[in-house]
Structure 1
Amino acid sequence: MANIYTPNQKAAKRQAIMQAAIDLFAHNSYTEITMQQIAETVGSSKGTTFRYFATKEDLFMTILLEDYQRYFEQLIAALTQEANFSASEYIAWMVEQTKRLIEQHDVLIRLNAIRGPILEGKANMAETIAQRDALYAVSQRLGQQLVVQTDNLLAQAQFSHLFIVQSGIISGLMNMASLTSFNHQKLARTYPDFEIQLVPEAQQQIKFYLIQYLEEFSKK
């Protein structure tokens, strides 16, 4: 008789597969990871893994979009505990969140960097769009929370858009910061002029961008 899993058991198995993929991705490049490795890490068969995620790209796209939703939800919850921001305090908050995103959510920014060129090639489009719609809705809620938090410093759409700009700055710098390594292996040479300190330079870039942006678009 076939095993019958409850919805809770299925959800737990799905989450275990995603966590195994995250753990492997923390120490390996995307191309090095196989669904067989993920299945072995979970302690299940590759067939079982494919029943939850049809491709490796589906799995990692789901991780990216669902974890971004959780990250935005965390920001919304944290903001509700904060006092209102002035323009300068909002900039300082975004600069600090840039650091936290890099240091505490590196899986998200690494996956975001390969979303277009790699993940979308074999990910299910309908499922991706559904997850993207859900992320968009959370992003709008986050933007609206910042409207309240800053006493209408910017419109909701502007606040939401600035998180996309933040992500683009981080992804771009992260990609260029890897010129002294090849496929996660450090090269036996240095390129001083190419070196990038990801956290301080990403913070600097988002700060400069926001200062200019607010000068041009702030309602106040």
Structure 2
Amino acid sequence: MTKRAMTDEAKALKAQAIIDKAAEMFASSEYDKIKMSDIAIAMNMSKGILFVYFKTKESLFFHLLCTEYEKRLIRLTEMIQASQIQKFDDFKDLVMTELIELVDHNPLYIRLEAMRSAVLEQNVDAELMLRLKTNLYAEMMKMTALICENNILDPSEVMDIFQAQGSIIIGCKLSSMIPAELEAIITENGLEGFKRDFKTDVLRTMKNYLDGYKRDSL
């Protein structure tokens, strides 16, 4: 068993290693099937030491979500800097392009975001949650300032749109998730029309929202 890291730098590195291991396990398993004891074994540490770093499984996976969201903000900033947002349609193209990239290449983020309010935020220390969200909000505002340089939108409008996008992602993802036993019944009875396609639903819903937002702002 590994000993508990003592320096702040070593603790941070160990915490990140635990987060990375959780991400690796989550890529091939459902959240409900992953136990903290499994993560401890995979990290070659006792469960007691694991709980020193993360008091709950929800806390661990909320950290993972925040890590993925930070990566998303970095990528979004790169995309903004590479584009020229001169009108609302340019911003709309940015949002839709980034959403397609998320859906196609970052299923980890999508799954975590879909669990955020219903699962992950239910058993996380309020002070910790506030600190993590405050850090992300500061990074979000930096990105928002780049979008608003040409006064196409103001910061509150940009925040509204990205908050709406988060709700759309959650709603469309949850509606596309069918229990295995129900999916078997649907397939056996030729009821494929009852299945929802997440990518189709989320892109259509976001596009309709942005089109409506533009009309309402004119």
Q: TM-score range by the shorter chain?
A: 0.7 to 0.9
For residues 3 and 199 of structure 1, do their structure 2 counterparts lie closer, same or farther at Cα, with a shift above 3 Å needed? closer
Code of the aligned partner of 1:187: A
Tell me which of 186, 195, 199 is aligned to 1:189: 186
Measure the CA separation in 1 of the matches of 2:194 and 2:183.
14
C-alpha root-mean-square deviation of aligned residues, in Å?
A: 2.1
SS of the residue corresponding to residue 80 of structure 1 reads helix
Post-superposition Cα deviations, 1:92-146, rounded to whole Å, max 9, x if no partner, equal 2211111112222222222222222222222111100111111222222222211
1:154–1:217 Cα contact (<8 Å) kept: no
Q: TM-score, normalised by structure 1?
A: 0.87
Question: What is the TM-score with the length of structure 2 in the denominator?
Answer: 0.88
Question: 2:117 is matched with which residue?
Answer: 116
Q: Greater CA deviation, 4-13 or 130-139?
A: 4-13
Which letter does structure 2 place at the counterpart of 1:137? A
- Report the CA distance shift for 1:3/1:95 in structure 2 as closer, same or farther (over 3 A): closer
Partner of 2:29: 28
Structure 2 unmatched ranges of 5 or more: none
Whether the 8 Å contact between 1:39 and 1:49 is mirrored in structure 2 is yes
Contact 2:84–2:90, Cα closer than 8 Å, also in 1: no
The 1:40/1:140 distance shift into structure 2, 3 A limit, reads: same
Give SS of 2:118's match.
Answer: helix
Measured after TM superposition, the shift of residue 214 of structure 1 is 1.3
Q: Distance in 1 between matches of 2:49 and 2:209?
A: 46
Distance of 2:92 and 2:100 partners within structure 1? 13
Inter-partner Cα distance in structure 2 for 1:111 and 1:199: 16
Q: Distance in 2 between matches of 1:62 and 1:25?
A: 13
Paired residue type of 1:182: A
**Letter aligned with residue 193 of structure 1:** G
Q: Secondary structure of 2:83's match?
A: coil
Counting only pairs closer than 5 Å after superposition, residues 98-177 of structure 1 correspond to structure 2 as 98-148=99-149, 151-177=150-176
Cα distance in 1, alignment partners of residues 194 and 151 from structure 2? 40
Shift of 1:60: 0.9
Equivalent AA in structure 2 for residue 206 of structure 1: M
The Cα offsets for residues 167-200 of structure 1, whole Å up to 9 and x where unpaired, read as 2112111111122x338x9525333332222223
SS at match of 2:153: coil
Task: Spell out structure 1 runs of 4+ moving beyond 6 A.
Answer: none
Unaligned runs of 5+ in 1: none
Where does residue 213 of structure 2 map in the other structure? Answer: 213
- Between 3-12 and 121-130, report the one with greater CA deviation: 3-12
Q: CA deviation at 1:66?
A: 3.1
In 1: Cα distance, 2:4 partner to 2:91 partner: 52
Q: 5 Å matches for 1:57-136?
A: 57-136=58-137
Instruction: Verify the 8 A CA contact 1:143 1:158 in the aligned structure 2.
Output: no
Q: Percent identity?
A: 25
Query: What is the one-letter code of the residue matched to 1:171?
Result: I
Give, as a single letter, the amino acid of the residue that structure 2 aligns with 1:112.
E
Distance in 2 of aligned mates of 1:27 and 1:169:
25
